[in-house]
Amino acid sequence: MKLCAANLIKKLCLDMYKRAGKINIPFKDIVIMAFIIEREAVKLTERSVIAAVFYNRFR
């Protein structure tokens, strides 16, 4: 089970790292924003709106 979870985390992090490079935001900042968005979003549908606000402010 631990190996399965570790592989999943590795794949997710690699995917996030690649996407972060495409939008020119450091991976560390992406992870921090993800944690903030998770805490701020009350509804699942609010995540994309909050993420868009953060992204627009980064530019």
End-to-end CA distance of the chain: 40
pLDDT at position 49: 93
Burial of 37: CB neighbours in 10 Å, binned 0-12, 13-18, 19+: middle
pLDDT at residue 1 is higher than 60: no
Domain ranges of the chain: 2-58
pLDDT in tens, 2-58: 666 666 667 777 777 777 777 777 878 877 888 888 898 888 888 999 989 988 887
As a whole number of angstroms, the distance between CA 54 and CA 52 comes to: 5
pLDDT at position 2: 62
